Structure 1
Amino acid sequence: MKKKWIVIGVITIIVLLIGINVWKSFASSTVKVETATLSQEVMKETVMTPGTLKLEKEQYVYVQPEKGEVAEIFVEEGDKVEKGDQLIRYENKQLELEQQQNDLQIRSTAINLENIRKKHNEIDKELEKDKDNEMLQEEHDQIKLEQQMTNIELEQANLQKESIASQLKELIVKADVDGTVLKVNEEVSSQGQMAEESIIRIGTLNKVIVEGTISEYDTLNISVGQAVILTSDAVPDEEWKGKVSFIGDLPEETALELEQTDASVAYPIRVTLDEDINLKPGFKMLIEIVTNEDKVNTLPLNAVEQIDDANFVYIVEEGKAKRVEVKIGSVDSEKMEIKDGITNEDQVIIDPPADISEGMEVTVK
Structure 2
Amino acid sequence: MKKKVLLPGVIAVILIAVIFVRINGMKVPVKTDTLPVVETVNPEVDTIELYTSLIGTIVPETVVRISPEASGTVTQVAAKAGDMVQQGQLLCVIDTNKVQNAKNTMDNAKVTYKEAHDTLGRMSVLYQSGAVSEQDYQGYVNSAKKSEIAYKQAKEEYENQVSYSNIKSPISGTIESCSIEQFDKVSTSDQIFVISGEGNKIISTSLTEKLQRSVKPGDLVIVEEDRNNLQGTISEISGMADDKTGLFNIKIQLADANELSAGTSVKLSLCSERADQVITVPVDSVYYENSKPYVYTYDNGTVHKIFVEAGIYDSSRMEVKEGIQKNMDVITTWSPELYEGAKALIMNSGEEIKGE
- Which bracket does the TM-score occupy, shorter chain normalised? 0.5 to 0.7
What is the alpha-carbon distance in structure 2 between the residues aligned to residue 105 and residue 211 of structure 1?
53
Q: Is residue 2:240 matched to residue 1:251?
A: yes
Correspondence list, 1:31-70, <5 A: 35-38=39-42, 40=44, 43-46=47-50, 48=52, 52-64=56-68, 66=70, 68-70=72-74
2:294 corresponds to which of 302, 306, 312: 312
Structure 1 window deviating more from structure 2 (114-123 vs 295-304): it is 114-123
Match of 1:131 in 2: none
Q: 1:188/1:50 Cα in 2 relative to 1: closer, same or farther (>3 Å)?
A: farther
Match of 2:232 in 1: 242
**What is the DSSP-based 3-state SS (H/G/I as helix, E as strand, rest coil) of the residue aligned with 1:186?**
coil
Q: Is the 8 A contact 1:57 1:203 kept in 2?
A: yes
Instruction: Note closer, same or farther for the CA distance 1:187–1:328 as it changes in structure 2 (3 Å cut).
Output: same
2:324 to 325, 341, 345: 341
Number of aligned residues? 324
Map of 1:324 onto structure 2:
306
RMSD: 4.6
C-alpha distance in structure 2 between counterparts of 1:164 and 1:203, whole Å: 29
| Residue type at the aligned position of 1:224 | P
Percent of pairs with identical residues: 15
- Displacement of 1:164: 2.0
**Given that residues 280 and 318 in structure 2 are in contact (C-alpha distance below 8 angstroms), is that contact kept between their aligned partners in structure 1?**
yes
Q: Which residue of 1 aligns with 2:146?
A: 152
- In the alignment, which residue of structure 2 is the partner of 1:16? 28
Question: Which position in structure 1 is the counterpart of 2:13?
Answer: none
How far did 1:244 drift?
Answer: 1.4
Structure 1: runs of 5+ lacking an equivalent = 1-5, 129-135, 256-264
1:302 is aligned to 284
After TM superposition, give the deviation of residue 147 of structure 1 in Å.
5.2
Q: Aligned partners of 2:338 and 2:330: how far apart in 1? A: 15
Change beyond 3 A, Cα 1:47–1:167: farther
Q: Does the CA contact (< 8 Å) of 1:243 and 1:272 recur in 2?
A: yes
Residue in structure 2 matched with residue 228 of structure 1 by the alignment: 221
Deviation at 1:152, TM superposition (A): 1.1
Residues 226 and 291, structure 1, Cα contact 8 Å, conserved in 2 = no
Gaps spanning 5+ residues in structure 2: where? 1-17, 351-356
Do the aligned partners of residues 307 and 197 (structure 1) sit closer, same or farther apart at CA in structure 2, a change above 3 Å counting?
A: farther
In structure 1, which of residues 265, 271, 292 is the aligned counterpart of residue 252 of structure 2?
271
Instruction: Summarize the Cα distance change of 1:106–1:175 in structure 2 as closer, same or farther, 3 Å threshold.
Output: closer
Cα distance in 2 for residues equivalent to 1:328 and 1:123: 96
What is the CA deviation profile of residues 145-201 of structure 1, one whole-angstrom value per residue up to 9, with x for unaligned ones? 255235313321222212322442354434444433233333497252397554444
Q: 1:145 is paired with a residue of what secondary structure?
A: helix
**Partners of 2:88 and 2:200 in 1: how far apart?**
20
Residues 161 and 267 (structure 1), Cα distance of their counterparts in 2 relative to 1, 3 Å cut: same
What is the distance in 2 between the residues matched to 1:242 and 1:168?
44
Aligned pair 1:182/2:194, yes or no?
Answer: no
Residues 45 and 277, structure 2, Cα contact 8 Å, conserved in 1: yes
How many angstroms apart in 1 are the aligned matches of 2:276 and 2:57?
30
Which digits, 9 at most, give the CA deviation of each residue in 1:62-92, with x for residues without a partner? 4426154333333333333344444334344
Are 1:230 and 1:240, in contact at CA under 8 Å, matched by a contact in 2?
Answer: yes
Say whether the 8 Å CA contact 2:282–2:332 is kept in structure 1.
Answer: no
Counting helix residues as a fraction of each chain, which structure ranks higher? 1
In structure 2, C-alpha distance between the alignment counterparts of 1:66 and 1:218, rounded to whole Å: 38
- Please list, as runs of the form range in 1=range in 2, the aligned pairs for 1:106-145 lying within 5 A after superposition: 106-111=110-115, 113-115=117-119, 117-118=121-122, 121-122=125-126, 125=129, 127=130, 141-142=135-136, 144-145=138-139
Relative distance call for 1:269 and 1:355 in structure 2 (3 A) is farther
Distance 2:137 2:304 in 1: 112
Query: Contact conserved, 1:51 with 1:284, CA < 8 A, in 2?
Result: yes
- Evaluate the alpha carbon distance shift between residue 359 and residue 328 of structure 1 in structure 2; reply closer, same or farther with a 3 A threshold: same
Q: Which moved more, 1:151-160 or 1:192-201?
A: 192-201
How far apart are 1:209 and its partner, in Å? 1.2
Residue 314 of structure 2 aligns with an amino acid whose one-letter code is D
Deviation at 1:42, TM superposition (A): 5.0
**Counterpart residue number, 2:270:** 288
State how far apart, in whole Å, the 2-side matches of 1:331 and 1:70 are.
61
Contact 1:230 1:239 in 2 (8 A): yes
Q: Among 76, 92, 101, which residue is 2:105 paired with?
A: 101
Task: Name the CA distance, whole Å, in 1 between partners of 2:186 and 2:194.
Answer: 15
Cα distance in 2 for residues equivalent to 1:122 and 1:172: 47
Change (3 A) 1:44 1:66: same
In structure 2, the CA distance between the partners of 1:333 and 1:37, relative to structure 1 (3 Å rule), is: same
Between the aligned partners of 1:157 and 1:94, the Cα distance in structure 2 is 17
Note if contact 2:85-2:174 (Cα within 8 Å) is conserved in structure 1: yes
TM superposition shift of 1:215: 3.9
